[in-house]
Structure 1
Amino acid sequence: MSIKSKSDHIYLDLKKRIYSEEFDHYQILPTEKELELAYNASRNTVRKAIRLLNIEGLVYSKTGSSNVVLRRVPITDELISTGNIMRPSKIKHNDIETVVLSFNQSTVNAKLANKSTFDEGESVFHAVRLRIIGGKPMMIDDSYFREEIVSGLNQKIASQSIYEYIQKTLGLKIIGSKMADRVVKAEKMDRDNLVLGDKNCIAQTQNWAYIDSGEIFEYTEIHFSPEFYVRTRFVPR
């Protein structure tokens, strides 16, 4: 388990207090000075926590004024909270089981090179994982990892947390992803493993993940059952 910074702890506590409607009467957070005293933290640490609340769409910081708590939109069937460079996307469910449908080492062909930005002919690990969420098969991760960067990857690691392995064991820093969402025709893999009912399509997210050298180390196509695909995002202006 990763060690959270003090700003992360403040952010998580304020988030919990916001969700408990503690600030709904006034719709503003305590002042930065009050938060510094309450959490025994520096101004910079408090501001980092508030910035995370802004990014998530929970708070709006008015320049030179207060931090306004935004009215919450009640979305009860949310599957994924969309992240960004400071906060990764997160599945909004605690009951997640990962089943590795296949794992092998392969070579990038022209078709994959075109989609992934990987060089044709280079070696990659190909992992296909089924995510069973709340007892329901909701999504498939069809992933390619560059062997040059993610060395030593195996099926056991793929059944647990590949990102934890990359960051803790390999010591690499993952900084974020570029994503593209679309609706595509269901493939045999989808029909065999996902709950599609009478639908012949799936929601698909393409994901290109970066380390801090600027290199893309992963290309994944995430396949979602349309019935369960609800992704939220907050877009600041």
Structure 2
Amino acid sequence: MKQTRNVTIMHENKFINIYQDLSSKIRRAILPAGQLLPSENELGDQYRASRETIRKALALLSRNGYIQKIQGKGSVVLDVSRFDFPVSGLTSFRELAEHTGEQWKTTVRQLILMKPDKKLQQLMNLEEDQNLWKVIRSRTVGGETVILDKDFLLLDTVPMLTADICEHSLYDYIENELNLKIGFAKKQITVEEANEEDRQYLTLSTVSSVVVVRSLVYLDNTQLFQFTESRHRADKFRFVDFARREHL
């Protein structure tokens, strides 16, 4: 009985193994963007799998953004060399990282209390004696550090922070522990030359520019509580949005 159960589990998980093999080949450009995958029958012969198993693997590849199924043509390999970063949404990094399907690591580089400088006073409409949390975190995937996040949060709104909280998710802590509701953000996106701090923390090699997303974040009662500056290695991200034309 035990042997039969093990065989059944291996059979049920076979489409996962096929998915992992194909997704790995796509990430490593063994199957380059724009190329058609072999047909379902050819993949079935290659992996010694049923057509149903192949279809499950292809469905998972499609759902995770590795391929696009085109009727009458087949499955086309998509460009996965860049991570999609939504422009209009207000999503925590942890939520975005989970969507990529990759293993990300967050490292807290700095966590201190500070007084705002002139720039922050102006940006956040602060008094010079107000206290802020300053949090610097780097984000690493595939052995490369590709994001540097700098957050400034009002102590009056967020009275306590720890490195563990910052490593996990600020927004999860704010919403589920402090029971505050994050409402909206005003964003500015620019492309800038990498600065000394970028070169210190990011894996840049020959890359000399970063995409910088600066956001003023408000609670749902319109109270401004955070300024964040998220610096992304320019060759690793694709900034996307969904737009619908309004018909008058």
- Give TM class, smaller chain: 0.5 to 0.7
2:105 is equivalent to residue 97 of structure 1: yes
Q: Deviations over 1:28-66 (max 9, x none)?
A: xxxxxxxxxxxxxxxxxxxxxxxxxxxxxxxxxxxxxxx
- Which residue does the alignment assign to 1:69? none
The structure with the largest alpha-carbon Rg is 2
Out of 131, 136, 151, the position equivalent to 1:123 is 131
Aligned mates of 2:77, 2:184 — CA distance in 1: 26
1:91-170 → structure 2 map (5 Å cutoff)? 91=97, 92-170=100-178
Aligned mates of 2:118, 2:154 — CA distance in 1: 15
Q: Deviations over 1:99-121 (max 9, x none)?
A: 01111000112122223444433
Aligned length: 176
Aligned mates of 2:181, 2:128 — CA distance in 1: 25
Q: 1:86 to 1:194 in 2, by over 3 A?
A: closer
Q: Does the 8 Å CA contact 2:90/2:185 hold for their aligned counterparts?
A: no
- TM-score, L = length of structure 2: 0.62
- Which residue does the alignment assign to 1:231? 239
- TM-score, L = length of structure 1: 0.64
Out of 199, 205, 211, the position equivalent to 2:213 is 205
Q: What is the one-letter code of the residue matched to 2:83?
A: L
- Which residue does the alignment assign to 1:171? 179
- Which residue does the alignment assign to 1:79? 83
Aligned mates of 1:156, 1:131 — CA distance in 2: 15
User: What RMSD, in angstroms, separates the aligned Cα atoms of the two structures?
Assistant: 3.0
Out of 174, 184, 190, the position equivalent to 1:182 is 190
How far apart are 1:134 and its partner, in Å?
2.9
Q: Does the 8 Å CA contact 1:196/1:226 hold for their aligned counterparts?
A: no
* Identity in percent: 21
Q: What is the one-letter code of the residue matched to 1:145?
A: L
1:230 aligned counterpart, secondary structure: strand
Q: What is the one-letter code of the residue matched to 2:80?
A: T
Aligned mates of 2:184, 2:143 — CA distance in 1: 29
Long gaps (5+) in structure 2: 1-58
Q: 1:88 to 1:129 in 2, by over 3 A?
A: closer
